[in-house]
Every structure is written in C-alpha cells, then in structure tokens.
C-alpha cells in the first residue's frame, strides 16, 4: 500500500508509479489513490490510502490518524486495525531518519506516499517547528485539491505551537476557500508576530488581495505599496498591484507601474503580461497607435493567446485597420466560440465595415 512499489499480480513485475489522485467518490478529503502501472503488461492498479494524521500526536495512529483507545498493553487502532507497536514497520520505517525532508521527498518521487507521509508525521510529532515538513504536506494536499484538509491541518498546527510562518500558509488556504475576512485576520497575526519576517512582504500583498475582495480599496492599495517597499524586486507583488489598479480603472497609475517594472520581469511570460497590460490600458485611453506597438511587441515575444488576439483586434480597430481587426477577433472566436467580448467586437466591426460599404 504505497509503502513499497506494488507488484503486478499477472507478471510479478515491480510496477511503475504514475500519479496520485483523490479517491473517486469519497469527497471527504481523507482518502487518496496512488496509481501504478506494470511496465510489462501495462496493467494499472490503484492503491487506496488513508491520508493519515493532519497534526500528528503520540496518541494518533500514524497510518490513518485515528486516536488510539485508552492505554492497554498493545493497543491496536480501532479504525485501520494496525497494532501500535508495529505501525512503523507497516509504514516501512525501520529507523528515524536524520534528514526527514530528503527521505520523505525521495519516497514521494517513487510513489511511496504513505511511507513519505509517515516520515514527515513522525518528524513533526517530535518537532512542530519543521516549517519545510509542513510545507511539503501543504503541497501534497494542494495537489490532491484537499484545501479544507490543508486549512484544518494548519489551524491545528498553529494551535499546537507551530511556527509563525504557518500563519501565512493558513491565510492562503483560507483565501483558496474564499474566506477572505478570516484570511486577513490570519495575515495580520503573522505580521504582528514577525513584522519584518521572511514572509512579511507576501503577507502584505496577499492580505491586500483579500482586502480588495472585501471592498476596501484604499487599505488594499496601502498594503500593496507596503509589500513592494518590503520586497521591491519581487515581481509578484508588482503584478498583483498592477492587476488591482487595472480593476480599479486607474489607468495613469497602472501605466506608471508598468513603465518602472520591465527591469524586474525576467521571465518571458511576465514581460508578455506587462506588454499586454500596457496595450489594454492604452486601448482604454483610445491610444491605438501605442496600444498596437505594445501588443505587437508581445506577439514578437511569442504571445498567441485569446487575450493577445482580442487586444490586437481592439488596437487595430482604433487605428482604422478594420479588416485586420476583424481577422484578430475571428481568431478569438475560433479559440472560444462563446466569448461574449469577441462577439460584441465582431458585431461592431461588421457594422462599421457595412456602413463603409454603404457610404461608398
């Protein structure tokens, strides 16, 4: 059961790990499946596994997370049946790892999920301060889509004395659950405990996202600016602030941010995003010439998305190149036939072209 690789029942060959998925039909974020494939006959097998303890304690079964019954000589778990004194052996642990992070990561890479989780849980049972162990568990829960379980785990970890950095992870989980008021409170708890901590900039920026969702744009803008002041070279802070300004239709302010941000964007996708943002703002300002320059620069860097073609269509229309604008909008509708903005743009362009023919 994902403590060691499965063997094919037909070929007796060691199977190859394929993927980990939520167990179909459960929906309770307590069970997942590990898929294995035989390299000889391609037979697929699904290993169904319990998630195990979210916040492990000495009184919890490391396999399934249930609390052991009142002390007896050799108690067994009432849920999974594993005897307490043999659970480590059943999970493939023969000794305490000196580097549980590496040991767990190695296990996960091989598909040995229960084994890897047991390593992390054993380490966290001994030391609540292992931030990286909590982080790996968060990533695993994210990959399964178990966001409620992740929030429950982090809330329990903090209540059990976990490190302040977990407030940031907990707050982000609350944002994923659309619990924005609670997320704001959690980010503030982190900033109270670590105002200049390693995650202070992230806490300010992410808190701003939730504050904006709650309708307090003035406070959100202050928090974005605070995040950028704390970490001026972190592109994600500027990117979030820029999206906020665009949503608020603060076009001059957004352009100013873009023009001072190009040197912070090192990834090609980030540069394309800035150019597309610039094209959008300029079209909103009816500046077709510069908008077209920006979107063409994005295209030259490889931009080819629905948004790219829509913005280029708008820019071309602004400079009177209606036929080319129509071609771009048709590309939008090829990518997304139900796109409302594309349909509206096409109707407008066709009406202009028809009017032009009629006037001649």
Q: Which H, E and C letters describe 158-193, residue by residue?
A: HHCCCCCCHHHHHHHHHHHCCCHHHHHHHHHHHHHH
Residue where the block lists tokens 């490391």 = 62
The sign of the CA dihedral 197, 202, 204, 206 is: negative
Look at residue 326 and give its three-state secondary structure: helix
Compute how many other C-beta atoms are within 10 angstroms of the C-beta atom of residue 289: 10
Tell me the pLDDT tens digit for each residue of 170-206.
999 999 999 999 999 999 999 999 999 999 999 999 9
pLDDT of residue 70: 80
Above 70 in pLDDT, residue 359?
no
Q: How much is the pTM?
A: 0.89
- 138 and 169 in contact (C-beta within 8 Å)? yes
Residue where the block lists tokens 């998305």 = 305
Relative orientation angle of helices 166-176 and 180-193, to the nearest 10 degrees: 170
The values of phi and psi at residue 76, to 5°, are -115, 155
> CATH class for domain 164-248?
mainly alpha
Question: 19 has which bridge partners?
Answer: 35
Question: 20 has which bridge partners?
Answer: 34
Above 90 in pLDDT, residue 24?
no
- Mean local confidence (pLDDT), 69-91: 86
With left for phi above 0 and alpha for psi between -120 and 50, is residue 56 left, alpha or beta? beta
Relative orientation angle of helices 322-335 and 340-359, to the nearest 10 degrees: 150
Reported as a pLDDT band with limits 50, 70 and 90, residue 72 is low
Pick the closest to residue 32 from 16, 11, 12, 47 (CA basis). Answer: 47
- Residue ranges of the chain that CATH labels 1.25.40.10: 164-248, 265-360
Tell me the pLDDT tens digit for each residue of 204-257.
999 999 999 999 999 999 999 999 999 999 999 999 999 999 999 999 999 999
Q: In the CATH hierarchy, which fold is given to the domain comprising 265-360?
A: 1.25.40
Mean pLDDT, the chain, whole residue set? 93
What Cα–Cα distance (Å) separates residue 171 from each residue in 45, 120, 200, 239? 37, 22, 13, 20
Pick the closest to residue 274 from 251, 253, 297, 292 (CA basis). Answer: 297
Reported as a pLDDT band with limits 50, 70 and 90, residue 1 is low
Above 70 in pLDDT, residue 351?
yes
Query: What is the C-alpha to C-alpha distance for residues 150 and 173, in angstroms, rounded to an integer?
Result: 7
Compute how many other C-beta atoms are within 10 angstroms of the C-beta atom of residue 244: 22
Tokens standing for 206? 């992410």
Question: 16 has which bridge partners?
Answer: 37
- Mean local confidence (pLDDT), 87-102: 90
Query: What is the C-alpha to C-alpha distance for residues 153 and 173, in angstroms, rounded to an integer?
Result: 10
Residues 6+ away with beta carbon under 8 Å from 85: 74
Query: What is the C-alpha to C-alpha distance for residues 149 and 140, in angstroms, rounded to an integer?
Result: 11
């Amino acid at each position: 059961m994902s403590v060691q690789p499965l063997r094919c029942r037909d070929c007796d060959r060691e199977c190859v790990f394929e993927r980990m998925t939520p167990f179909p039909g459960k929906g309770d974020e307590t069970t997942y499946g590990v898929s294995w494939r035989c390299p000889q006959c391609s037979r697929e097998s699904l290993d169904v596994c319990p998630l195990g303890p979210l916040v492990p304690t000495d009184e919890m079964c490391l396999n399934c997370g249930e609390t052991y019954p009142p002390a007896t000589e050799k108690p067994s778990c009432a849920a999974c049946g594993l005897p307490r004194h043999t659970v480590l052996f059943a999970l493939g642990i023969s000794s305490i790892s000196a580097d549980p992070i590496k040991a767990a990561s190695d296990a996960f890479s091989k598909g040995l999920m229960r084994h890897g989780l047991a390593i992390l849980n054993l380490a966290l049972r001994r030391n609540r301060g292992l931030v990286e162990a909590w982080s790996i568990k968060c990533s695993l829960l994210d990959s399964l889509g178990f966001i409620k379980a992740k929030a429950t785990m982090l809330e329990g970890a903090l209540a059990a004395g976990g490190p302040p950095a977990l407030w940031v992870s907990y707050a982000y989980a609350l944002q994923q659950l659309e619990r924005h008021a609670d997320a704001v409170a959690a980010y503030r708890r982190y900033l109270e405990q670590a105002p200049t901590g390693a995650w202070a900039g992230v806490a300010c920026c992410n808190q701003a996202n939730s504050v904006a969702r709650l309708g307090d744009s003035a406070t959100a803008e202050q928090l974005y600016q605070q995040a950028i002041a704390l970490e001026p070279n972190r592109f994600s802070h500027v990117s979030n602030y820029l999206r906020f300004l665009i949503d608020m239709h603060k076009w001059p302010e957004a352009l100013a941010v873009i023009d001072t941000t190009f040197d912070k964007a090192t990834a090609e996708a980030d540069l394309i995003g800035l150019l597309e943002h610039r094209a959008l703002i300029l079209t909103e300002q009816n500046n077709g010439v510069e908008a077209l320059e920006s979107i063409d620069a994005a295209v030259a860097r490889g931009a080819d998305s629905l948004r790219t073609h829509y913005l280029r269509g708008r820019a071309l229309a602004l400079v009177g190149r209606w036929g080319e604008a129509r071609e771009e909008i048709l590309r939008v509708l090829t990518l997304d036939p139900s796109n409302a903005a594309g349909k509206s743009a096409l109707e407008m362009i066709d009406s202009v072209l028809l009017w032009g023919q009629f006037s001649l």
